[in-house]
Amino acid sequence: MNVPLPCGSHITQLIIKEFHRRFLHANHEKGINEIRQKFWIPKLRSTLAWIRRSCQQCKNRRAALSSRMAELPYPRVAAFHRPFSYTGVDYFGPLMVRVRRSSEKRYGVLFTCLSTRAIHLEVAYSFTTDSCILAVRSFMARRGFPVELWSNNGTNFQGVCTELRRAFEDVDKDLLSRKFTGPHMTWKFIPPASPYMGGAWERLVRSVKTAMESIHLDKRPSDELLRAALMEAEAIVNSRPLTYISLEDKNEESLTPNHFLLGSSTGRGPKMEPLQEGVQLKKSWMESQQLADSFWRRWLQEFLPVITRRTKWCERLSLL
């Protein structure tokens, strides 16, 4: 015989709370079924619903987000800067290569411009700090010194930062300031245990891997063949459209990262926009500047509104 209990009794509430915890704050119908086999409690469902609403653990699980979607950092929206001024770097691999009759590991090093989304690929022969330093120096030799270099908190990246800081302490800064101009390069790390903040380069690692699969490399290519395949993958990824373009659009081709690197999506015959009336470009640097400005204007009009659009978490919500 079931024991009758009043619904408003403190003892009744403690019994229902015990069953609520026993079933891990879920399976409410099962909890009701188990309670009814031992007790007879009027208004059992409404009492259990009140206990669920007052349960702190249930409140925490159902709590809504209290913050809005954050704005993109400045490196992602920096316009009219040299490509790779703000760069993210990441490793991917290992990639197996054939060396004589044995196999060795190689690692791909991806550098991506955080604003134009262009990429640059290098090969690291090991996962050590020295190998990473060589990859970064090779990148800077071809693309110039970045203003900021972003990465995750990998131990090799931490070692690079330490080595570069020590090397910079031994450099004659007055001599550098006389010979070179421009801002100093800084290496920044995303917070630990926050891989979502590295999505700008993690997504492009996936794109490079997809491009590498389409090239159909051997399982163990040579070093020369691997480097050639990475260059092909770099060209494929840099020629991807950044935005959707309609067939009726006045622009003949979509904006791609190669526009900022090569002047067009394929590097063949970039087209100039019509000149303003009364303006005569007599120097090649003025022509190249006008071409770069036209790409940045398209970047501002077509690409920037896409990446800054907030699709969720648009309003500040209070906790339940």
- Per-residue pLDDT of 271-301, as tens digits, reads 555 545 444 545 555 666 677 778 888 888 8
pLDDT value for 237? 92
Mean pLDDT for the stretch of residues 171-192: 59
Total domains in the chain come to 2
Domain boundary among 223, 238, 253: 238
pLDDT value for 317? 55
The long-range contacts involving 217-222, CB below 8 angstroms and separated by at least 24 positions, are 218/98, 219/96, 220/96, 220/97, 220/98, 220/103, 221/97, 221/98, 222/97, 222/98, 222/99
Q: Are residues 88 and 170 in the same domain?
A: yes
- pLDDT above 90 covers a percentage of the chain that reads 8
The reply to whether 36 and 106 lie within a common domain is no
Position 198 in a domain: yes
Is 138 found in the same domain as 35?
no
Residues 79 and 56 in one domain: no
Rg of the chain over all Cα atoms, to the nearest angstrom: 29
Residues 90 and 228 in one domain: yes
Q: Report d(CA 299, CA 251) in Å as an integer.
A: 13
Assigned domain for 133 exists: yes
Residues 207, 238 contacting (CB under 8 angstroms): no
Position 152 scores a pLDDT of: 81
141 and 101 in a single domain? The answer is yes
Domain that holds residue 96: 74-238
What is the pLDDT, as a whole number, of residue 247? Answer: 64
pLDDT at 16 over 60: yes
Residue 299 domain flag: no
**For residues 90-102, average pLDDT:** 85
pLDDT of residue 314: 64
Q: Where are the alpha helices (DSSP H) in the chain?
A: 10-22, 28-36, 44-54, 56-62, 74-77, 129-143, 155-169, 173-179, 199-215, 223-238, 257-261, 284-298, 304-307
CATH code of the domain containing 124: 3.30.420.10
pLDDT at position 181 is 40
**Both 207 and 151 in a single domain?**
yes
Q: Within a domain: residue 258?
A: no
When pLDDT is averaged across residues 199-203 and rounded to a whole number, the result is 87
More confident residue, 221 or 63: 221
pLDDT for 121: 93
DSSP-derived secondary structure for 12-72:
HHHHHHHHHHHTTT--HHHHHHHHHTTEE-TTHHHHHHHHHHH-HHHHHHHPPP-SPPPPP
Q: What is the pLDDT of residue 248?
A: 65
For residues 47 and 193, membership in a common domain is answered with: no
Domain end point (choices 218, 238, 258): 238
Would residue 311 count as lying in a domain? no
Of residues 21 and 119, more confidence is placed in 119
- Residues 148, 227, single domain; the answer is yes
**Residue 250 scores a pLDDT above 70:** no
Structure tokens belonging to residue 220? 């163990």
Per the prediction, the chain carries an average pLDDT of 78
pLDDT digits (tens, 9 = 90+) for 111-126: 999 999 999 999 988 8
Q: Is 148 helix (H, G, I), strand (E, B) or coil?
A: strand
Average pLDDT score over residue span 138-144: 88
Summarize pLDDT for 212-249 with one digit per residue, the tens.
Answer: 888 877 778 888 888 988 999 999 999 888 887 766 66
Whether residue 46 sits in one domain with residue 102: no
Do 113 and 199 share a domain, yes or no? yes
The pLDDT of residue 177 is above 80: no
Q: Three-class SS of residue 212?
A: helix
Statement: residue 101 has pLDDT above 70: yes
Distance CA 27, CA 175 (A): 72
Q: ω before 94 within 30° of 0 (cis)?
A: yes
Q: How confident is the model at residue 320 (pLDDT cuts 50, 70, 90)?
A: very low
* Residue 291 within any structural domain of the chain: no
Tokens linked to 156: 């090799």
Of the residues 62, 87, 111, which one is the last residue of a structural domain? 62
- C-alpha distances out from residue 48 to 8, 14, 155, 247, 248, Å: 11, 11, 51, 59, 60
Same domain, yes or no: 84 and 233: yes
Q: Is the pLDDT of residue 309 over 70?
A: yes
Of 225, 243, 236, nearest in space to 106 by CA:
225
How many Cβ atoms are within 10 Å of 240's Cβ, its own excluded?
Answer: 16
pLDDT at 180: 41
User: How many C-beta atoms lie closer than 10 Å to residue 39's C-beta?
Assistant: 16
First to last CA, the chain: 40
Across the range 60-84, mean pLDDT stands at 79
What pLDDT, on the 0 to 100 scale, is given for residue 64? 67
Asked if residue 315 belongs to a domain, the reply is no
- Domain annotation covers residue 33: yes
Please check the confidence at residue 4 and state whether its pLDDT lies above 50. yes
Selection from 197, 45, 171, 44 nearest residue 114 by Cα: 197
pLDDT top residue among 264 and 206: 206
Question: 52 Cβ partners below 8 Å, 6+ apart?
Answer: 20, 25, 28, 58
